[in-house]
Amino acid sequence: MADSEVKKDAPTEESSAAPSGRRRLLLGGAALALTGIGGGAGYWFWWRTPAQPEPEPIPPLQFLTLEPPFVTNLAGADAQRLLQVEVSVVTRSPHTLAILKDHQPMLRDGLLMLFASQEVGAVSLTAGKEALRRAALSTVRQVVKQVEGDPVTVLNVLFNGFVVQ
């Protein structure tokens, strides 16, 4: 009997292997779960795309029509020729619009001198009108720059009316 009691108290190789195998299985599963969680967290932290900030809304276009229309003699004409131009300035900046309104005499003077220096042959062609529009844009930007505004905020100069007589 003593032998059978000794056998019951002393663990055998077969009975001790079963709890150790379960422990290994549990430890392996826990290690695998922690590795998966750590890998998922690392992927989320390093590879996720950061939230894009909301773009600022683009302010609407603002137009300043210079009234009254410009009327001037054209240079180099044998007969008396007149040029009448209705001009609008385009910007998105309220500050630039205020500068343009406050400094209209300077603006009108620069544009009037530009229009008066044109020849009939140049302004009769579409390419000449486009060149004159670009020169007018440059003149408006120079005026804005002179009064310490940002000349780039003047987007365009539009001819609303263009008559050569």
Instruction: State the average pLDDT for the chain.
Output: 85
Torsion of CA 17, 18, 21, 27, to 10 degrees: -120
Model pLDDT, residue 29:
85
Write a three-state SS string for the chain. CHHHHHHHHCCCHHHHHHHHHHHHHHHHHHHHHHHHHHHHHHHHHHHCCCCCCCCCCCCCCEEEEEEEEEEEECECCCCCCEEEEEEEEEECCHHHHHHHHHCHHHHHHHHHHHHHCCEHHHHHCHHHHHHHHHHHHHHHHHHHHHCCCCHHHEEEEEEEEEEEC
Q: In percent, how much of the chain has pLDDT > 70? A: 86
In whole angstroms, what is the distance from residue 118 CA to residue 18 CA? 104
Taking the CB of residue 105, how many other CB atoms lie within 10 A of it? 8
Q: What is the pLDDT of residue 121?
A: 86
Amino acid at 59: P
Which residues, other chains included, contact 97 with Cβ-Cβ below 8 Å and sequence gap of 6+? 62, 64, 91
pLDDT per position as a tens digit, 82-131? 999 999 999 999 999 999 999 999 999 999 999 999 998 889 899 999 99
Query: Of the ranges 17-21, 123-127, 132-136, 161-165, which one carries the lowest mean pLDDT score?
Result: 17-21
Q: Round to whole Å and give the CA distance between 12 and 92.
A: 89
Question: Which tokens sit at 117?
Answer: 């220096």
